Amino acid sequence: MTKTALITGATSGIGRAAAKALAAEGHNLIICGRRKDALEELAEELGNQVNVHTLRFDVRHKEEVNKAIQELPQEFSHIDILVNNAGNAHGLDPIHTGDLEDWDAMIDINVKGLLYVSNAVLPQMAERKSGHIINIGSIAGKEVYPNGNVYSASKHAVDAINKGMRIDLNGLGIRVGAINPGLVETGFSDVRFKGDSERAKSVYEGYQPLTPEDIADIIVFMVTRPPHVNVADLLVLPTAQASSTILHKE
Ligand code: NDP
Ligand code: 8X3
């Protein structure tokens, strides 16, 4: 059955791969992000497979988020699948020298942004008594690693929100689940290290990291389970990674 999926952070990495994978399954898409060119390029690529609508907003701005979702054209207004993916790490510093701007960005985007989008989408799912929410957490939401402090706090919050959503929506026929990836090669480290591409590249050297497509496959797996099956919480690591701090590099 054709569904409509809204994916945040669809301009890059995991979100972009998820959009392609869900389009390949025949689902119509609402792709979100701040980068207009990347949204348009993806819409053009997928537009001959499925119906695609682009929404440009910064998840930090609740009025923007709400307006964009409330004003969706009729054919995209019924959202079956919400992939809460937008997010990043900003910096990797000890807590006593951390940058307040970085802290604000991580809390505002990864936590508050996810909540704003959910707040705009969940009521219609609750009213219809159907829907599927997939929250992209992280291994950093399960463990804390050196200098990961506030990013880790933001992803622990996502872990708690995922559980809270599942509890509060219980009985409404809405599935809520999280994917918590380890190291995935995306634009993530470029953002964390503020464009220091050498440092970003080195994060993924000496072992085989996960690809965004690996995570997109799991999203497809989750949405293609029968309606009575909810994949609630998954930790997904590269084989070379045993924990946040144990990584086997050749
Ligand atoms: P990317 O940097 O490749 O993608 C991040 C996406 O988030 C982009 O599409 C970006 O879009 C969007 N985004 C960032 N800030 C905002 C904002 N303020 N408003 C709207 N959209 C925003 O990284 P990933 O694909 O790796 O990250 C996706 C998710 O996966 C994140 O939640 C991340 O924490 C999580 N994750 C990543 C892991 C990894 O190793 N890569 C591991 C575990 C979890 P735009 O810039 O156009 O706004
Ligand atoms: C992204 C993975 O280990 O950099 O969430 O926190 S990690």
Q: State pLDDT tens for residues 192-228.
A: 999 999 999 999 999 999 999 999 999 999 999 999 9
244 within a domain of the structure (yes/no) = no
Q: How many distinct structural domains can be found in the chain?
A: 1
Task: Look up the pTM and report it.
Answer: 0.98
Quote the pLDDT of residue 38.
98
Domain with residue 151: its CATH number is 3.40.50.720
CA 124, CA 238: separation in Å to the nearest integer? 36
The answer to whether 8 touches 83, Cβ cutoff 8 Å, is yes
245 within a domain of the structure (yes/no) = no
Two tokens at 163? 């559980």
Please choose, from the candidates 105, 111, 116, 218, the residue with its C-alpha nearest in 3D space to the C-alpha of residue 158: 111
Determine which residue's CA is closest to atom 12 belonging to ligand 1.
Answer: 9
Distance (angstroms) between ligand 2 centre and the Cα of 184 equals: 8
CA 151, CA 159: separation in Å to the nearest integer? 12
Domain span including residue 220: 4-236
Token pair 């497509």 is at which residue? Answer: 213
Region 34-62: what's the mean pLDDT? 98
What is the number of other CB atoms lying within 10 angstroms of the CB of residue 125? 24
Q: Which ligand is nearest to the CA of 136?
A: 1
Provide the ipTM: 0.99
Distance (angstroms) between ligand 2 centre and the Cα of 214 equals: 15
69 within a domain of the structure (yes/no) = yes
Q: Which atom of ligand 1 is nearest to the CA of 209?
A: 40
Question: Parallel, antiparallel, or unpaired for β 52-56 and 81-84?
Answer: unpaired
pLDDT tens, residue by residue, 1-14: 899 999 999 999 99
pLDDT cut 90: percent of the chain above it? 100
109 within a domain of the structure (yes/no) = yes
Active site residues: 151
247 within a domain of the structure (yes/no) = no
242 within a domain of the structure (yes/no) = no
Instruction: Determine the residue of 85, 111, 149, 151 to mutate for testing ligand 2's pocket, defined as the one with the most ligand atoms within 8 A of the Cβ atom.
Output: 151
CA 136, CA 221: separation in Å to the nearest integer? 15
14 within a domain of the structure (yes/no) = yes
Q: Which atom of ligand 1 is nearest to the CA of 9?
A: 9
The answer to whether 43 touches 52, Cβ cutoff 8 Å, is yes
Quote the pLDDT of residue 52.
98
171 within a domain of the structure (yes/no) = yes
Q: Which atom of ligand 2 is nearest to the CA of 151?
A: 6
Please choose, from the candidates 110, 27, 39, the residue with its C-alpha nearest in 3D space to the C-alpha of residue 68: 39
Q: Is 106 in the pocket of ligand 2 (CB under 6 A)?
A: no
Which SS3 state, helix, strand or coil, does residue 6 take? strand
